[in-house]
Amino acid sequence: AGLDRDKALAIANIKEELTKPEAIAEKAFMQAAYGTHPYAVDADEASLQAITRDDLVAFHRAHYVANRAVIALIGDITEAQARAIASALTRQLPQGAALPALPPVPTPKGGETRIAHPASQSHILIGAPALQRGDNDFFALTVGNYVLGGGGFVSRLTDEVREKRGLSYSVYSGFSPLAQPGPFQIGLQTKKEQTAEALRVTRATLDKFLQDGPTAAELKAAKDNLAGGFALRIDSNAKLLENLSVIGFYGLPLDYLDHWIERVRAVTVQDVRAAFRRHVQPAQLSTVIVGDDAR
């Protein structure tokens, strides 16, 4: 009864999500960008309905195993105490087989997908697989993206799309690094009748950034803001724990946080330009528009 109830709740949540243009856009974007790769796979009603209790038990036995557990601990404890706690937490868990390697992400094909929706605004996503955890270009891309679309009101996309032309209330860009290349994505909403203009300006802004990179002044402002704001990324045990979990899960260097600021500070204009050119190819970008289906 409990399983049936949870399945029904999950199915209801999926159905509700798929009435929302932003959820429709995100699902379509991942399918366009990743094709048949597991990163594009999403639960649907049929797959949830098919789950049995035996499936859940088998999944638990296969994946809740001691030798693949990553345990992050924060608090007033020594390393020896932390090891003892971790051992106690995993003592009753079985040893499991190694996970199969994820398949490589296919080369993005680009293209445009338009999905009709009665919402008053078009929801637009542009991007492609781009960045793997541990890539040496992470810091150059992080600094560069602050200038392009990650810095809020001081970003180029906000200036060109919102401030100069009033085409969108908000517009952003960002990288989401994963075990395999995670997506680079630009997102915005605009009135349906402004869709073509918003797309043109967004693409032109990205193309100019890819060609020239940031100015020296933009680079300095981005590095100052990121370095100055670093303390806010680790100002609570919860945030530290989240960072440690990422370090452990992705196998990043244990001194990753110790060198974060200096690696940001070391980024040059040339680093940003070269990193973006390596990771963001305009011909490979997928564009998804939910709302305005006129071509």
Across the range 243-264, mean pLDDT stands at 96
Tell me the residue range of the domain where 14 lies.
Answer: 2-90
Read off the pLDDT of residues 85-104 as tens digits, 9 standing for 90 and up. 999 999 999 999 999 999 99
pLDDT tens digits, residue range 122-171?
999 999 999 999 999 999 999 999 999 999 999 999 999 999 999 999 99
Per-residue pLDDT at 85: 97
CB 150 within 8 A of CB 159: no
**Interval 23-55: pLDDT, tens:** 999 999 999 999 999 999 999 999 999 999 999
Please enumerate in sequence order all residues whose Cβ is within 8 A of that of 111, keeping only pairs 6 or more positions apart, or say none: 32, 286, 287
Is residue 185 classed as helix, strand or coil in its secondary structure? Answer: strand
166 belongs to a structural domain: yes
For residues 215 and 124, state if they share a domain.
yes
Q: How many domains does the chain have?
A: 2
**Is position 101 within any domain?**
no
* Start-to-end Cα distance in the chain: 48
Q: Are residues 84 and 115 in the same domain?
A: no
Are residue 127 and residue 188 in the same domain, yes or no? yes
Q: Give me the pLDDT at residue 226, please.
A: 98
Which residues are within 8 A (CB) of 93 and not within 5 positions of it... i.e. 6 or more apart?
A: 64, 65, 66, 69
Q: How far apart are CA 215 and CA 53, in angstroms?
A: 58
Residues 51 and 115 in one domain: no
Q: pLDDT value at position 295?
A: 63
User: Is 98 within a domain?
Assistant: no
Query: What confidence tens digit (pLDDT) does each residue in 226-241 have?
Result: 999 999 999 999 999 9
Q: Rounded to a whole number, what is the largest CA-CA distance in the chain?
A: 63
Q: Tokens for 240?
A: 């530290």
- Do residues 56 and 115 share a domain? no
Residue 269: the pLDDT is: 97
Model confidence pLDDT, tens digit, residues 188-202: 999 999 999 999 999
Question: Is residue 107 within 8 Å of residue 35, measured between CB atoms?
Answer: no
Q: Is 55 part of any domain?
A: yes
Q: What percent of the chain stands above pLDDT 70?
A: 99
Domain shared by 60 and 120, yes or no: no
Residues 48 and 157 occupy one common structural domain: no
Calculate ∠ Cα 272-230-237, nearest 5°.
140
What mean pLDDT is reported for the chain? 95
8 Å CB contact between 143 and 223:
yes
Any domain includes 96: no
Kindly state the average pLDDT of the residues 261-275. Answer: 98
Same-domain status, 63 and 126: no
Residues 6+ apart with CB under 8 A from 59: none
Please identify, among 90, 121, 147, the residue that sits at the C-terminal boundary of a domain.
90
Residue 97 lies in a domain: no
What pLDDT is recorded for position 1? 75
Q: Quick one: 129 and 158 in the same domain?
A: yes
